[in-house]
Amino acid sequence: MILALAGRRVDAPNAAVVRFPLENADSVKTQIAGLLGTTQATSLVCSAACGSDLLALDAARELALDCHIILPFAKERFRETSVVDRPGFWGALFDQVVERAERAGKLAVLNLQESDDASYLAVNEAILAHARALARSQAQPIEAALVWDGKPRDGMDITAAFANAAKSLGIPVREISTLPAPFDKMTAWPHKS
């Protein structure tokens, strides 16, 4: 299985809308690792922003999967604008996974000029195109994973656009939530009879 993945970055401090709180990172990584295992993924294709991307790349590395990274522009600039600008210790993980991909010849840099919606939409397209090419060349099925809060943002939502693009290509999309599971009072506080 070839898995193409996109998702939310961890929330900025004092974010007006909670989409991916940093304290959920371990849970999200566990869910991603579970998906990689249950789908019997052999390759992961994604970008390398803080949050969903880096957690997926770390889980895939631990499972010894083939990792392909696509960045919109130079890794140094991407690291500043999409990795270390949010809370958490993402910089070292980014450096490790990008270096590993670069050594293996599995880092693609699109050399786009701007850090804008068009650049990130181009990355979505490149992730899906690369995953489809891998699936064809290796005669494997392909799926997409969307790691998010389940609600599109008002206006342009790059994560939702990834899911829509995958669906338009006939690629099945699985979702992983970045939010904690709802509290179930009956499970947490069983009544004695």
E strand segments, 116-163: 142-148
In words, the CATH class of domain 2-152+164-181 is alpha beta
List pLDDT tens digits, range 170-186.
Answer: 999 999 999 987 654 44
User: How far is residue 112's CA from residue 118's CA, in Å, rounded to a whole number?
Assistant: 9
In this predicted structure, the answer to whether residue 163 has a pLDDT above a threshold of 50 is yes
DSSP letters spanning 124-166? HHHHHHHHHHHHHHHT--EEEEEEE-S-PPSS--HHHHHHHHH
**Which of 103-107, 151-155, 184-188 is most confident?**
103-107
Task: Report yes or no: 50 and 86 within 8 Å, Cβ to Cβ.
Answer: yes
Q: What's the token pair of residue 103? A: 């050594």
| End-to-end Cα separation, the chain, in angstroms | 48
Counts of helices then strands in the chain (DSSP H, E) = 7, 6
List pLDDT tens digits, range 2-53.
Answer: 999 999 999 999 999 999 999 999 999 999 999 999 999 999 999 999 999 9
Task: Report yes or no: 37 and 63 within 8 Å, Cβ to Cβ.
Answer: yes
Task: Report yes or no: 128 and 146 within 8 Å, Cβ to Cβ.
Answer: no
In this predicted structure, the answer to whether residue 193 has a pLDDT above a threshold of 70 is no
Question: What is the predicted pLDDT for the residue at 182?
Answer: 64
Nearest to 146 by CA among 53, 72, 62: 53
Question: What is the predicted pLDDT for the residue at 115?
Answer: 75
Place of tokens 């004695």: 192
Q: Which DSSP state fits 179?
A: S
